[in-house]
Structure 1
Amino acid sequence: MPNASLLPEELIAEILSWVPVKALMQFRCVSKTWNSLILHPTFVKLHLHRSSKNSHILVMYKDINAEDDKLVACVAPCSIRHLLENPSSTVDHGCHRFNANYLVSGVCNGLVCLRDSFAGHEFQEYWFRFWNPATRVMSIDSPPLRLHSSNYKTKWYHVKCALGYDDLSETYKVAVVLSDIKSQKMEVRVHCLGDTCWRKILTCLDFHFLQQCDGQFVNGTVNWLALRKLSSDYIWRYELVIFSYDMKNETYRYLLKPDGMSEVSFPEPRLGILKGYLCLSCDHGRTHFVVWLMREFGVEKSWTQLLNVSYEHLQLDQFPFPSTSMIPLCMSEDEDVMLLASYGRKEFVLVNKRDNRMDDIGGFDGKYYWPYSYDYVPSLVLPYRN
């Protein structure tokens, strides 16, 4: 008589789809059937769909190794709840370390895009790897993207990279935006996970990117801050915009900044993602730090001011300019609490809007440099084509 306790495969898959990634990786040892199920693309997609969104972020920072005084890149997947409670110890826990040449160029559905480069005499070469921190699986290097200095601007701040997902072809893609010297146009190149080549997708009118290199993935698009050149009565001026490239349709458009936001200031505005929304933070009038959220992607009227706090309240220097360079790392589900990283003071700052309180809750002086964050969800997504 068959064992009545055996469950149908469909019910097993249903139950396992709610289990965290770490446990599932251990469950692969139960049987060949379970191993095959857990890595099957259909199950991977179901598990990703049911994973808790907006509950984790991935923090990237630089660290000085005390043993050989070598700069290394550190990546730490974090629970937002734990990070808000104790940022310093949470960032240290579960941190992955790399040679400093590797830079994070994007995070999407649990996959992290790592970028490396080589500078030749007359060219710059870039290549990428896909990595899943939850499963600890990493792909081999992508085909190199070689840029000759006679044709392209090759410095790191000219080459803009981003990782995104095309839900039509169900493909993860790296998009790179380049500045063509001869044609004075911008060019978009794309590499799909598992391919052996780069494709030239489109060209557009030349414009100036801001310093931030990595693009932000949201709603099927990757986005960078840029300055668009405008002319009026033979007078040239520059307008702050968001250059948005659509992964699925292979098109681009410009999104406008929030009404009431000043033009480019110092430090430069920064684009990010908070709770799955496009986020824009900036210095305003050298007196305030302001954070905006685009509630409905692509709709400029949906920009909402999330935070407006004075440097005096934060007790930051204001002359000759704020020694600030702050960045929002994450916020609570109810949006009442936000964690900032203050580069000038090398400290985490916790802002409680409900109680109108601001607290320094731990520093990264002498150890952490330039921490910034990405939306992250632990997943089973493979960093190679299955």
Structure 2
Amino acid sequence: MENSSAEILRDYDLILKIMSWLPIKSLMRFRCVSKTWNLLIFNPDLAKLHLKRSSINPQILLLFKKIEERQCFSAVLHSLLCLIQNPAPCSMLSCPNPYKYIFGSCNGLLSLHYSLSTNECEKHLVCFLNPATKTCSLPSPSLCLNYGIGVQYDINFGFGYDDKRNSYKVVAIVLDSSTQQTNVWVYCMGDVCWRLTLMTSPAFLTIDSNGYSLNATVNWLGRSSKESKLQIFSYDLENDTCRCLLVPELVPKNSEFTSMGVLNGCLCLSFDQGRTVFVVLALKEVRDETSWNRLVSVSYETLNISPYYDYLRTLCMWDDLLLLTYSQLWDDYDIIIIFNLKENKVERTQVYSKHSLSHIFSCHYIPSLI
């Protein structure tokens, strides 16, 4: 065994390269071979190399969220190819108790939330789960929001990676109704407390509750409490600053289903025009509000969608295929449309599964050893 360990250490770089191509399930079995193998598999160098390989074939995490609640009550993982070829229900992703709300995915880690209310305050805790390695972090310190006369809070979370400091961060934007102010709290993985980094006024009212992570920023769609125009509240994880990005004027004020997401490495905004055309705009550079361009503009007639749908939104893109989801007002199941952008036609429409009174959200997921 000593000779074997010495050989492994001698050929360290080569072994790491070979192991970086292996699926995580296999690596989790190999860690039982010896202490040396276990150290290799949980080596940060292998984790970074494996993440780089896995990024070529990302998966998608589908979240089913109740319409009247912000808590995500179920989630499933798919490979993009599997979802496109056969978007059938698969096994649910279970979260450790008491966490029930998944609000982000980054480099193979899922961020989970749990809250507890008392007469004096409400406490919010987060943790991090790696579904591939089946490991979960300890709970974070609690973010405690004290109640007072006429005080109500609206809190939204986002999760991202600060590559400048090699740090995973949770960002909470907290609207205090009594002061009409938005406070930004940040928790860095491993810290002993949350940090209050910003206090902004007027308050920012979110439309999409989850923050979308991209290029060391976390972004929410919404409006300032003093303006009716749509804006994107963008928090920079590297320097703890925020800015409000303007949304192009062509986005109608009366659009019922304006939503945000990330497609092909771009922050995207989707909306309908008069219940006749579905439009997706892409922000090529998240720190440059002049870099908007039109990614998709397709009629309901082409999509074969009735104007009486509910919550049409994008899920993901794979090459020239765009996946959309919606439900009819009179049905209790979700419908996935696979639309070919190059040929401007619907390739397939399928019922996904029954999740009564729910909406589908999605985020990219990359299996990793992080």
The TM-score bracket by the shorter chain reads 0.7 to 0.9
Instruction: State the partner residue of 1:67.
Output: none
2:327 pairs with 339, 343, 357, which one? 343
Note the alpha carbon deviations across 1:233-270, whole angstroms, 9 max, x for none. xxxx4221111001110011111213522235213x11
Instruction: State the partner residue of 1:84.
Output: 84
1:250 pairs with 237, 240, 249, which one? 240
Are 1:146 and 2:132 counterparts? no
3-state secondary structure, aligned to 1:23: helix
1:195 pairs with 183, 191, 194, which one? 191
Q: Which moved more, 1:214-223 or 1:33-42?
A: 33-42
**Residues 277 and 244 (structure 1), Cα distance of their counterparts in 2 relative to 1, 3 Å cut:** same
Following superposition, the deviation at residue 154 of structure 1 comes to: 4.6
Residue identity in the other structure for 1:292: L
State TM-score, norm by structure 1.
Answer: 0.84
Q: Where does structure 2 lack aligned partners over 5 or more consecutive residues? A: none
Measure the CA separation in 2 of the matches of 1:312 and 1:259: 25
Are 1:24 and 2:20 counterparts? no
Q: Which moved more, 1:117-126 or 1:196-205?
A: 117-126
Following superposition, the deviation at residue 12 of structure 1 comes to: 0.8
Are 1:73 and 2:108 counterparts? no
Measure the CA separation in 1 of the matches of 2:23 and 2:345: 35
Note the alpha carbon deviations across 1:332-367, whole angstroms, 9 max, x for none. 12xx21111103352111212233322322242356
Residue identity in the other structure for 1:171: S
Are 1:297 and 2:286 counterparts? yes
Measure the CA separation in 2 of the matches of 1:100 and 1:313: 44
Following superposition, the deviation at residue 136 of structure 1 comes to: 1.1
Measure the CA separation in 2 of the matches of 1:53 and 1:258: 32
3-state secondary structure, aligned to 1:339: strand
1:135 pairs with 96, 117, 133, which one? 133
Following superposition, the deviation at residue 271 of structure 1 comes to: 1.2
Measure the CA separation in 1 of the matches of 2:252 and 2:82: 34
% of aligned pairs identical? 37
Instruction: State the partner residue of 1:286.
Output: 275
Instruction: State the partner residue of 2:11.
Output: 8
Following superposition, the deviation at residue 100 of structure 1 comes to: 9.2
**Residues 154 and 229 (structure 1), Cα distance of their counterparts in 2 relative to 1, 3 Å cut:** closer
Residue identity in the other structure for 1:136: K
Q: Which moved more, 1:116-125 or 1:30-39?
A: 116-125
State TM-score, norm by structure 2.
Answer: 0.87
Q: Where does structure 1 lack aligned partners over 5 or more consecutive residues? A: 64-70, 231-236, 382-386
**Residues 300 and 53 (structure 1), Cα distance of their counterparts in 2 relative to 1, 3 Å cut:** farther
Contact 2:72 2:101 in 1 (8 A): no
Residue identity in the other structure for 1:17: S
**Residues 101 and 62 (structure 1), Cα distance of their counterparts in 2 relative to 1, 3 Å cut:** farther
Measure the CA separation in 1 of the matches of 2:13 and 2:301: 59
Following superposition, the deviation at residue 197 of structure 1 comes to: 1.1
Contact 2:311 2:326 in 1 (8 A): yes
3-state secondary structure, aligned to 1:213: coil
Note the alpha carbon deviations across 1:304-328, whole angstroms, 9 max, x for none. 222222233334343xxx4320121
Instruction: State the partner residue of 1:41.
Output: 44
Are 1:355 and 2:343 counterparts? yes
Note the alpha carbon deviations across 1:153-180, whole angstroms, 9 max, x for none. 655xx21101111112211111101123
Note the alpha carbon deviations across 1:139-163, whole angstroms, 9 max, x for none. 12212212123289655xx211011
Measure the CA separation in 2 of the matches of 1:249 and 1:338: 34
Instruction: State the partner residue of 1:218.
Output: 214
Are 1:161 and 2:137 counterparts? no
**Residues 46 and 315 (structure 1), Cα distance of their counterparts in 2 relative to 1, 3 Å cut:** closer
Residue identity in the other structure for 2:321: V
Measure the CA separation in 2 of the matches of 1:132 and 1:5: 31
Q: Which moved more, 1:127-136 or 1:26-35?
A: 26-35
Contact 2:122 2:145 in 1 (8 A): yes
Instruction: State the partner residue of 2:101.
Output: 103
Measure the CA separation in 1 of the matches of 2:158 and 2:225: 23
Are 1:173 and 2:169 counterparts? yes
2:54 pairs with 45, 51, 56, which one? 51
Contact 1:175 1:190 in 2 (8 A): yes
**Residues 123 and 305 (structure 1), Cα distance of their counterparts in 2 relative to 1, 3 Å cut:** same
Residue identity in the other structure for 1:332: W
**Residues 174 and 151 (structure 1), Cα distance of their counterparts in 2 relative to 1, 3 Å cut:** farther
Contact 1:279 1:292 in 2 (8 A): yes
Are 1:263 and 2:253 counterparts? yes
Residue identity in the other structure for 1:83: L
Q: Which moved more, 1:367-376 or 1:198-207?
A: 367-376
**Residues 61 and 175 (structure 1), Cα distance of their counterparts in 2 relative to 1, 3 Å cut:** same
What count of residue pairs does the alignment treat as equivalent?
356
Measure the CA separation in 2 of the matches of 1:378 and 1:55: 8
Are 1:273 and 2:262 counterparts? yes
Residue identity in the other structure for 1:198: W
Residue identity in the other structure for 2:273: H
3-state secondary structure, aligned to 2:309: coil
